[in-house]
Structure 1
Amino acid sequence: MRYVDGFVIAVPTENRKKFIDHAKKGDGVFMDLGATRVVECWGDDVPDGKVTDFRKAVQAKADETVAFSWVEWPDKVTRDAAMAKMTDWMENPEGADPRMDPKKNPMPFDGMRLIYGGFVPLVDLGGEVTA
């Protein structure tokens, strides 16, 4: 069953080009490790909410733009194996994919304010229904 990772990030607006460059390097790793699709979106119409919203979720500042991204995987097993290779820099740098080395591809945003999660698709009107 397909699996989706979603990400919301506050990116300094002046770092748009750096964000694109960073994403192209990282997204290639996702694809090489089994992702079927990666989409990176730059905030265009991200309104302020009364209780919560995307900007509040990532504590976006006035000079930052909210980016929304997702990665589609064929299944959770493929995603989990890929994530282990991509995010293992702290505990097992020898086993991690060298293209994800934060020294070689630094994040052009505050990673502490990035929110993410893994999701099982329930309805997909552009594809097959999985529930």
Structure 2
Amino acid sequence: MTWIDGFVIPVPEARRADYAAMAEKVGRIFLDHGASQIVESWSADVPRGEVTDFYRAVAAEPGEGIVFSLIVWPSREIAEAGHKAAFADPRMAEAGDMTMFNGRRMIMGGFEQLLWMGERT
């Protein structure tokens, strides 16, 4: 069953290009270790809610954008093995400055695919 790792991360707007470059390098590593798709997206139309929203979920500060990311894997087992292999891969240490965002404010989780409609690109 397809497994999806989901992430929401606050990143300084001024570091958007740096984040994109780092994400491309890290994404390649995950693909090399079994991921089937990497999706990185930057907030463009993220409304502020009355009760909760993406900004509050990650305690975003002024000047930060919201990154919404997915790593799609063929299965949970492949995802678990792929994560271990990716973080042991020496290229990970050279992928870029991950201190550009506060990992303590990142939310993440693993999800079993419930439905996927349309083509996968």
> Same fold, TM exceeding 0.5?
yes
Aligned partner (choices 94, 97, 116) of residue 106 of structure 1? 97
- Using CA pairs under 8 Å that are at least 6 residues apart, name the structure with larger relative contact order, 1 or 2: 2
CA distance, structure 2, for counterparts of residue 38 and residue 76 of structure 1 = 15
Partner residue in 2 for 1:5: 5
1:18 deviates by 0.4
Q: Secondary structure at the match of 1:16?
A: helix
Q: 4+ runs of 1 displaced by more than 2 Å?
A: none
In the TM superposition, 1:11-22 aligns within 5 A as: 11-22=11-22
Which has the larger share of helix?
Answer: 2
Residues 51-84 of structure 1: per-residue CA shift (max 9 Å, x gap): 1111001111110000101011011111000112
Larger radius of gyration: 1
The gaps in structure 2 that reach 5 residues or longer are: none
Residues 79-109 of structure 1: per-residue CA shift (max 9 Å, x gap): 000112234xxxxxxxx111222x6522121
The gaps in structure 1 that reach 5 residues or longer are: 88-95
Partner residue in 2 for 1:50: 50
CA distance, structure 1, for counterparts of residue 109 and residue 41 of structure 2 = 17
TM-score by length of 1: 0.85
CA distance, structure 2, for counterparts of residue 52 and residue 99 of structure 1 = 37
In the TM superposition, 1:60-99 aligns within 5 A as: 60-87=60-87, 96-99=88-91
